[in-house]
Amino acid sequence: MTFRKILTPHIAEDDCHTLNFYQSNGGYSQAKISLKEQQPDDLIELVKAANLRGRGGAGFPTGVKWSFVPKSSDKPKYLVVNADESEPGTFKDRVIMEKNPHLLLEGILICCKAVNIQTAYIYIRGEFVFAAQRLQQAIDEAYDAGILGNDCLGSGLSVDVTVHRGAGAYICGEETGMLTSLEGDRGQPKLKPPFPAIEGVFGCPTVVNNVETLANLPYILEIGAEAYCAIGPEKSPGPKLFCVSGHVENPGTFELPMGIPLRTLIDEHAGGVWKGRKLKAVIPGGSSAHVLTAEECDVAMDIESLTAAGTMLGSAGVIVMDDSTCMVDALVNLMRFYHHESCGQCTPCREGTGWLEKIVHRIAHGDGRMEDLELVLDVCDRMVGKTICALADAAAFPAQSFVTKFQDDFVAAIQNGGSPAWKKRHPSAVGGAATHG
Ligand SMILES: Cc1cc2nc3c(=O)[nH]c(=O)nc-3n(C[C@H](O)[C@H](O)[C@H](O)COP(=O)(O)O)c2cc1C
Ligand code: SF4
């Protein structure tokens, strides 16, 4: 089957975000069929059979997640769309919300029918002002046209959708942190279980799905599970948005089949490594993923292949680094981010992210010692798997892989009085001259 773009097909058109444009290209026809004619259980089975895997980072099977929501509960059920998109290197959900917001709304309607939900919230990161405006415009259009609200699309069902803007915290992308924030409290993650499907927002069963996950639903209904599974690898198929940033000639968001070779993505779609330089490293799945060396880049961009390569597809944020990159400086940057974004509830994360930033910072700034390399790995061991949410792991994975795979850069910075960039900025400094907190 030839691949055609489903999530971002007409994004060059000026009016691609409008209801008129969406409907004139067949939009809402699948929601109409599912709301009027299909049974919730059949929809869940269809999504299970299509092997749709969550696009938010963990790759959990979407249909399986929906089936956890108790049917017998007399509490209201909610859908909360994760539009926080704060993982460094990730800019795919924003494209859908700005350019194709009705596709997300159609996916929301299908999910609501499958799980018997009448209220959906879209939790969008605060910085996405334009995307939030575009979403609100689309929601207003959909209410006016009888697509949302009471008697959606003449089906007798009602679905209300509300946009909720966050306040710019990475941790509010973690699902339980997001739900707590939506309730009006500080966005701090909670221990699971209970999982949101059983006890989520306002203590009620809640489906949490990523924007891109939901945007896949109309297409699954259109072509069926078997044809969907034929797009890319069977265990994690479908169209996929890959975000390529860093040292490439043509950075951007590319819609391609799941499983595209990483080198094809970089060389053919993103224009190759810039300025004629050589590839040094790639983070394939957002900054929380283990980094790959150039030699490890012959890998397919799908969940199983990247897991087998010791990293992850994550949010599909592909960050490319050329051979001029100092991995010590790059890691300081990442560690500063995770330290800043830790919510501080768990000691291994609150203290560990602080220590990682401090140690890598001193290596970069001329105060490093050889024992620091072991110390970084030791701190990481005390973080991974020992906290309420996965932010601690997300900080430890790049630290572990940068230090192990690019040890030469770290040793050079320790032996030569700091990273090349730091020494350039401080030519008269000798190792030990740097001050830092
Ligand atoms: C620290 C952290 C940040 C996260 N940020 C996001 C995010 O910005 N967007 C997102 O969809 N999922 C994010 N997730 C994953 C969510 O917790 C959740 O798994 C996801 O929204 C589920 O949707 P899906 O099954 O459709 O992928 C994050 C997880 C962690 C641990
Ligand atoms: S792991 Fe970090 S971010 Fe997650 S709950 Fe614990 S302290 Fe907060």
Per-residue model confidence as pLDDT tens digits over 246-264: 999 999 999 999 999 999 9
* Tokens (6 digits) for 42: 């059949």
> Whose alpha carbon is nearest atom 4 of ligand 2?
389
The alpha carbon of 210 and the centre of ligand 1 are apart by a number of angstroms equal to 7
Average pLDDT over residues 22-50: 98
* Residues 97, 157 share a domain: yes
Q: What are phi and psi of 239, to 5 degrees?
A: -70, 150
Task: Judge whether 60 and 193 are in contact, CB under 8 Å.
Answer: no
For residue 435, name the pLDDT band (cuts at 50, 70, 90): very low
Angle at 8 (CA atoms; ends 272, 224), nearest 5 degrees: 115
Question: Quick check: is 9 in a domain?
Answer: no
For residue 237, name the pLDDT band (cuts at 50, 70, 90): very high
* Residues 31, 118 share a domain: yes
- CATH code for the domain of 375: 1.20.1440.230
Question: Quick check: is 431 in a domain?
Answer: no
Give yes or no for residue 6 CB within 6 A of ligand 2. no
* Residues 302, 163 share a domain: no
* Residues 174, 55 share a domain: yes
Using a 10 angstrom Cβ sphere, with 0-12 exposed, 13-18 middle and 19 or more buried, the burial of residue 333 is middle
* Residues 193, 120 share a domain: yes
Q: Which of 29-33, 72-76, 115-119, 214-218 has the lowest mean pLDDT?
A: 72-76
Return the closest-CA partner of residue 209 out of 235, 179, 168: 179
> Whose alpha carbon is nearest atom 12 of ligand 1?
56
Per-residue model confidence as pLDDT tens digits over 122-155: 999 999 999 999 999 999 999 999 999 999 999 9
Residue at which a domain ends, from 292, 322, 352? 322
* Residues 214, 116 share a domain: yes
- CATH code for the domain of 31: 3.40.50.11540
Per-residue model confidence as pLDDT tens digits over 279-303: 999 999 999 999 999 999 999 999 9
Please count the structural domains in the chain.
3
Per-residue model confidence as pLDDT tens digits over 168-179: 999 999 999 999
Ligand 1 pocket mutation pick from 69, 80, 122, 175 by most atoms within 8 angstroms of CB: 175
* Residues 404, 259 share a domain: no
> Whose alpha carbon is nearest atom 25 of ligand 1?
54
Distance from chain centroid for Cα 35: 29
Task: Judge whether 50 and 169 are in contact, CB under 8 Å.
Answer: no
CA dist 225 to 63, 234, 391, Å? 12, 10, 34
* Tokens (6 digits) for 103: 């596709």
> Whose alpha carbon is nearest atom 22 of ligand 1?
209
- Label each residue of 66-113 as H, E or C: HHCCCCCCCCCCEEEEEECCCCCCCCCHHHHHHHCHHHHHHHHHHHHH
Question: Quick check: is 7 in a domain?
Answer: no
Average pLDDT over residues 384-389: 98
320 beta partners: 246, 282
Residues 6+ away with beta carbon under 8 Å from 102: 17, 19, 22, 23, 27, 28, 138, 141, 142
Give yes or no for residue 391 CB within 6 A of ligand 2. yes
Return the closest-CA partner of residue 200 out of 68, 104, 386: 68
pTM of the entire predicted model: 0.97
Ligand 2 pocket mutation pick from 345, 347, 383, 386 by most atoms within 8 angstroms of CB: 345
* Residues 353, 270 share a domain: no
Distance from chain centroid for Cα 160: 25
Among the bound ligands, name the one nearest to the CA of residue 394: 1
Question: Quick check: is 135 in a domain?
Answer: yes
Give yes or no for residue 395 CB within 6 A of ligand 2. no
- Other C-beta atoms within 10 Å of 351: how many? 16
The alpha carbon of 188 and the centre of ligand 2 are apart by a number of angstroms equal to 7
* Residues 257, 161 share a domain: no
Return the closest-CA partner of residue 376 out of 337, 419, 426, 411: 411
> Whose alpha carbon is nearest atom 11 of ligand 1?
56
Give yes or no for residue 174 CB within 6 A of ligand 1. yes
Residue at which a domain ends, from 322, 338, 360? 322
Q: What is the DSSP string of 201-237?
A: GGGS-EEEEEHHHHHTHHHHHHHHHHHHHTSS-TTS-
Ligand 2 pocket mutation pick from 349, 382, 393 by most atoms within 8 angstroms of CB: 349
Residue at which a domain ends, from 181, 205, 229? 229
* Residues 79, 25 share a domain: yes
* Residues 386, 293 share a domain: no
Q: What is the DSSP string of 233-253?
A: -TTS-SEEEEEEEESBSS-EE
Whether 433 has a pLDDT exceeding 60, the answer reads: no
What per-residue confidence (pLDDT) applies to 1?
A: 66
CA dist 29 to 123, 217, 221, 222, Å? 26, 12, 10, 9
- CATH code for the domain of 286: 3.10.20.600
Classified as helix, coil or strand, 281 is strand
Distance from chain centroid for Cα 391: 13
For residue 118, name the pLDDT band (cuts at 50, 70, 90): very high
Return the closest-CA partner of residue 16 out of 117, 101, 79: 101
- Other C-beta atoms within 10 Å of 116: how many? 14
Percent of the chain with pLDDT over 70: 98
Residues 6+ away with beta carbon under 8 Å from 397: 288, 289, 290, 384
Give yes or no for residue 214 CB within 6 A of ligand 2. no
Whether 407 has a pLDDT exceeding 90, the answer reads: yes
Give yes or no for residue 172 CB within 6 A of ligand 2. no
- For residue 93, give its domain range: 19-229
The alpha carbon of 360 and the centre of ligand 2 are apart by a number of angstroms equal to 21
